A and B are shown apart, each in its own frame.
Chain A
């Protein structure tokens, strides 16, 4: 076990120090880069906070769409499982297997997945307008 605090806490306090103390003093030519640094840290923080629950949800939905067993594996098998189901989904969409009666279901899944991604990448994009 590593010494405390953990990655999540360290990232949070480092970002706080960066935005509260360093960002205001950053000269104009470096401001864009500094804002990108703060943004990257915020994305990483949100990803750590979310844990693997969005990935589990995605797995469950993908398994449903592809008529597979919905019990999600743990650890790295979960990530690999989602990746491989997404590959299958991508191929089936291209082949037209979601053109017909499964259209609404796949749209609903894609929308949920995109919204979950945006909750981490860019929560502001979820606000309409």
Chain B
């Protein structure tokens, strides 16, 4: 993407002026931000009728993962979440005219703070009180889970309850030329231990350290809504507690920042839902299965020649670690 070309910048300034009903919009800064293998984020500073605004422009990267939402859908999701007082960047303008930059994009408010998981889990100056941050994440997640499938405007979201996840992951394994018996073991365990009844709410599906901003030690907002769906709210909790998101602190179950005791009671109180150790175990197994599937999808991009890359190739060598975690979680006699 060549957003920084002069002609693109002029068209973008025109779009911003129209969308915000401003007389005058001047682009001061437009810089690619780090992260985002699936989507590209650009820091966008605009002087709107003389007043400086700090925004993020979010658009598709070239290598798109097929399972994620479109930018227009993500914009709609963000609007609902933001209106429900879930801490998240306020979505501002959606551009569905490809003539502006060549691709669809939306603009949202740029929140302050740090998201990088290895910094958040290592630097006590960034997170002086991990337990407090965990409680804020829990309360925020409970607010997010109050959005239900009845909510107007979210009809496009898929529904992924436990058995849907199992069928979906098996379906993906069936497309591969190589078998994965340990993952099949985990999936069978999930099938045998599937919950009898499940709540179905809006779920984020990537609610974890690395995807939220921390500013002055507090939760500033949750990012990356492209995987959201309807499903079992406990899936988000299992994902948040999976080993892969603990970065520098594998001993701290909740995203490398706190223990379960700092997160679960707050979530229970705010949501009115009970979470048993069995629930937590079940959804941690499911989280690792999903992580393994994502790793295999990335590996396939390398093996198939779609995107030859050392990083993607090495992702294939993560699978053993994930399988070991699955066996540890499910292997009790």
Residues of A near any B CB (own CB < 8 A): 33, 36-37, 39-40, 43, 83, 86-87, 89-90, 93-94, 96, 98-99, 104, 106-107, 110-111, 113-115, 117-118, 121-122, 125, 129
- Assess the A99–B185 pair: CB atoms within 8 A: no
A114:B323 contact, CB within 8 angstroms = yes
Residues on the A chain within 8 Å of B324, using CB: 111, 114-115, 118, 125
A110 to B184, CA, bound (A): 11
**A93 with B184: CB separation less than 8 A:** yes
| A86–B314 CA distance with the chains assembled, in angstroms | 22
B320 touches A96 (CB 8 A): no
Question: What separation, in Å, do the CA atoms of A37 and B185 have in the docked complex?
Answer: 32
Q: Is the CB of B317 within 8 A of A43?
A: yes
Residue pairs across A and B with Cβ atoms less than 8 A apart, 28 shown, are A33-B310, A36-B311, A37-B310, A40-B310, A43-B317, A83-B178, A86-B181, A87-B179, A89-B179, A93-B184, A94-B170, A98-B188, A99-B188, A99-B192, A104-B333, A107-B327, A110-B185, A110-B323, A110-B327, A111-B324, A111-B327, A113-B181, A113-B182, A114-B327, A117-B323, A118-B320, A118-B324, A125-B320
Q: Are B323 and A83 interface neighbours, CB within 8 A?
A: no
Label chain B's interface by main secondary structure.
helix
Chain A contact residues: helix, strand, loop or mixed: helix
Q: Closest CB-CB distance, B23 to chain A, in whole Å?
A: 41
Give Cα A37 to B187, complex, Å: 33
Query: For the complex, what is the distance from the CA of A40 to the CA of B182, rounded to whole Å?
Result: 24
On chain A, the residues within 8 Å of B187 by CB distance are 94
Q: Within the complex, what minimum Cβ distance (angstroms) separates B283 from chain A? A: 21
Known: A43-B317, A110-B185, A118-B321. A86 touches B327 (CB 8 A): no
CA A9 – CA B324 in complex, angstroms?
A: 31
Give the distance in Å from the alpha carbon of A113 to the alpha carbon of B327 in the complex: 11
A118 CA to B321 CA, complexed, in Å: 7
CB pair A89–B310 under 8 Å, yes or no, is no
Determine whether the beta carbon of A83 is less than 8 Å from that of B179: yes
Size bracket, chain B contacts: 20 to 34
User: Looking at the complex, which one of B180, B192, B310, B317 makes contact with A90 (CB distance below 8 Å)?
Assistant: B180
Docked complex Cα distance between A37 and B317 (Å): 14
B250 in the interface (beta carbon within 8 A):
yes
Q: How far is B189's CA from A98's CA once the two chains are assembled, in angstroms? A: 11
Which of A37, A94, A125, A129 sits near B188, CB closer than 8 Å? A94
| B111 contacts across to A, CB distance below 8 A | none
Binary contact readout B302-325 vs A (1 if CB under 8 angstroms, 0 otherwise): 000000001101100110110110
**Contact status A114-B182, CB under 8 Å:** yes
Asked if B331 lies at the interface with its beta carbon under 8 angstroms from chain A, I say yes
A89 to B324, CA, bound (A): 17
CB of B36 to closest CB in A, whole Å:
16
How many Å from the CB of A34 to the closest CB on chain B?
Answer: 10
Measured CA separation A89–B184 after assembly (Å): 9
User: From residue A28, how far is it (CB to closest CB) to chain B in Å?
Assistant: 14
Give residues of chain B (161-188) contacting chain A, Cβ–Cβ below 8 Å.
Answer: 170, 173, 178-182, 184-185, 187-188
**In the complex, what's the smallest C-beta–C-beta distance from A35 to chain B, in angstroms?**
10
Does the CB pair A122–B320 fall under 8 Å? yes
Chain A residues within 8 Å of B318, by CB: 121-122
